[in-house]
Amino acid sequence: MLSQQTIDVIKSTVPVLEVHGEAITRHFYQTMFTAHPELLNIFNHANQKQGRQQAALANMVYTAAMHIDNLGAILPAVRQVAHKHRSLGIVPEQYRIVGTYLLQAIKDVLGDAATEEILTAWGDAYQVIADAFIGIEQDMYSEAANQTGGWDGFRLFQVAKKVQESEVITSFYLLPEDGKSISSYQPGQYISIRMQVPGQQFTQIRQYTLSDAPGKPYYRISVKRESGAPDRPDGVISNYLHDHITEGSLVELSAPAGDFTLDMEDQRPIVLVSGGVGLTPMISMLNALTESGDQRPVTFLHASPNGQAHAFRDHVNRLAQEHTHLMVHFCYTAPSDADLQNEFVYRQGYMDAAWLRQVIQEPDANYYLCGSAAFMRSVYAELLSIGAASDRIHYEFFGPKASLSPAAENV
């Protein structure tokens, strides 16, 4: 238990640390990676270079510190991170390393302002926060390992089938190399894949959402090739998967994780909204709903640049023909000549409030949203404006979680 005095010191210094937040975490990562280069095997280097991970960790530590006397109030946020940590294989010993370098960074950046009292209070508070994460992650590790077909850490899978779904998205069907069963999962969950790419010094870990309904003997992931813009390098793992991972290749996977899952209890209609490769969780959810015979109204909205980039179009259209309670609408921002000649129906343009109002029959629904950060911010605001309740808009970032509020555009 922290003393009231420690709690007061923490709460009064959070604003000071927030001012220096990114400087502290940047310094923290630099010193930690210098002393423990082995940790570069688990951190995403692209996120580091773009400062995305720094922002995520800093925000989480300050949020936790503000709620230090009632961490239960931020339990959903802690669980979301714990899912990610569990899929990465983070262990308690690493919390000690993070704590040491975080505290050192606070001391180095604040200089004389970091009194002994402040440093002791933050050391104690970090321990409380770390213990909360470690406890939750321990339960998650046990659950993942002890369920039927479950496992601990990473397990070898073989690519049984590779299917091109569009010009930019390819699916990989993965079977466990040991031939044993695999754990089930909830639609919307992801696995982490760990790879050693030739020419790269460190192993790389990335998350990919399982794109089919659970209950199959395989896991399927559907990966978009991340081609770098002129001033950016090509994505390391997505390109390696597309170009070098073939049927028969072996890859290492964590057990499924994640809290972006379909709420099967609530009987409201369901609206699945995706942009680009953000459709992978929606396909898993849609398949699970249609395969289970669920009769709730489902609206499937998908935005893509054009028909060539658009994955699973025929599949979704076929489901819409078979299930009268499923409504499907597509939006193309840059239809190709082939699209313009096609009799296939899509809206040309963006998902704006006027159009969403037309296609969503019952706004009192559960919404599931996934796509680029810019897409989600825009659609989130439009959904609120048509009367969607914010606590029923569930969303997933394909990177460190960030805010969807307009003020957070640069995060």
Q: Specify whether 95 is catalytic.
A: yes
CA atoms within 13 A on the CB side of 361: 13
Which residues have a Cβ under 8 Å from the Cβ of 8 and sit 6 or more positions away? none
Interacting partner of 53 out of ligand FAD, ligand HEM, none (Cβ under 5 to 8 A depending on kind): ligand HEM
| Residue 399 in marked binding region | yes
The single residue of 29, 95, 346, 380 carrying the catalytic annotation is 95
| Residue 190 in marked binding region | yes
| Residue 36 in marked binding region | no
Q: What is the CB neighbour count within 10 angstroms for residue 365?
A: 23
Binding of ligand FAD by 224 (CB under 6 A):
yes
DSSP conformation letters of 216-252:
SSSEEEEEE--PPPTTSPPPHHHHHHHHH--TT-EEE
Three-state SS at 393? strand
- Beta strand 155-164 pairing with 169-176: antiparallel
CA atoms within 13 A on the CB side of 53: 14
User: Which residue among 7, 60, 309, 365 contacts ligand HEM (CB under 6 A)?
Assistant: 60
Chain residues 78-137 in contact with ligand HEM, contact rule CB under 6 A: 81, 84-85, 88, 90, 94-95, 98, 129-130, 133
Residue 256 gets which letter from DSSP? P
Interacting partner of 129 out of ligand HEM, ligand FAD, none (Cβ under 5 to 8 A depending on kind): ligand HEM
Chain residues 245-264 in contact with ligand FAD, contact rule CB under 6 A: 258
Chain residues 341-400 in contact with ligand FAD, contact rule CB under 6 A: 396, 398-399
Interacting partner of 101 out of ligand HEM, ligand FAD, none (Cβ under 5 to 8 A depending on kind): none
Which residues have a Cβ under 8 Å from the Cβ of 296 and sit 6 or more positions away? 267, 268, 269, 270, 289, 325
Chain residues 188-217 in contact with ligand FAD, contact rule CB under 6 A: 190, 206-209
* 371, 396 contact by CB (below 8 A): no
Chain residues 33-62 in contact with ligand FAD, contact rule CB under 6 A: 44, 46, 49-50
Q: Which of 205, 280, 153, 222 is nearest to 47 (CA)?
A: 205
Find the shortest distance in angstroms from Cβ 199 to ligand HEM: 21
User: Which residue among 23, 40, 42, 74 contacts ligand HEM (CB under 6 A)?
Assistant: 42
Find the shortest distance in angstroms from Cβ 193 to ligand FAD: 8
| Residue 344 in marked binding region | no
| CA pair distance 264, 175, nearest whole angstrom | 27
Binding of ligand FAD by 285 (CB under 6 A):
no
The single residue of 137, 165, 226, 396 carrying the catalytic annotation is 137
Edge-to-edge strand order for the sheet containing 347-348?
347-348, 326-332, 298-304, 270-275, 366-370, 393-396
Residue 209 vs 254, nearer CB to ligand FAD: 209
Q: Specify whether 62 is catalytic.
A: no
Which residues have a Cβ under 8 Å from the Cβ of 52 and sit 6 or more positions away? 399, 400, 402, 411
Residue 310 vs 347, nearer CB to ligand FAD: 310
- Total residues interacting with ligand FAD, rule: CB under 6 A: 27
Dihedral angle computed from the Cα positions of residues 198, 203, 209 and 215, in that order, rounded to the nearest 10 degrees? 90
Structure token digits, residue 408:
């957070």
- Total residues interacting with ligand HEM, rule: CB under 6 A: 23
| CA pair distance 287, 281, nearest whole angstrom | 10
Structure token digits, residue 40:
């570069």
Residue 379 vs 402, nearer CB to ligand FAD: 402
Q: Which residues are annotated as a binding site for FAD?
A: 190, 397-400
List active site positions. Answer: 95, 137
Chain residues binding ligand FAD by CB under 6 A are: 44, 46, 49-50, 190, 206-209, 222-224, 226, 228, 232-233, 235-239, 258, 277, 280, 396, 398-399
Binding site as annotated, residues: 85, 190, 276-281, 397-400
Binding region for heme b: 85
Question: Residues annotated as binding site for NADP(+)?
Answer: 276-281
Binding site for ligand HEM (CB under 6 A): 39, 42-44, 47, 53, 56-57, 60-61, 81, 84-85, 88, 90, 94-95, 98, 129-130, 133, 400-401
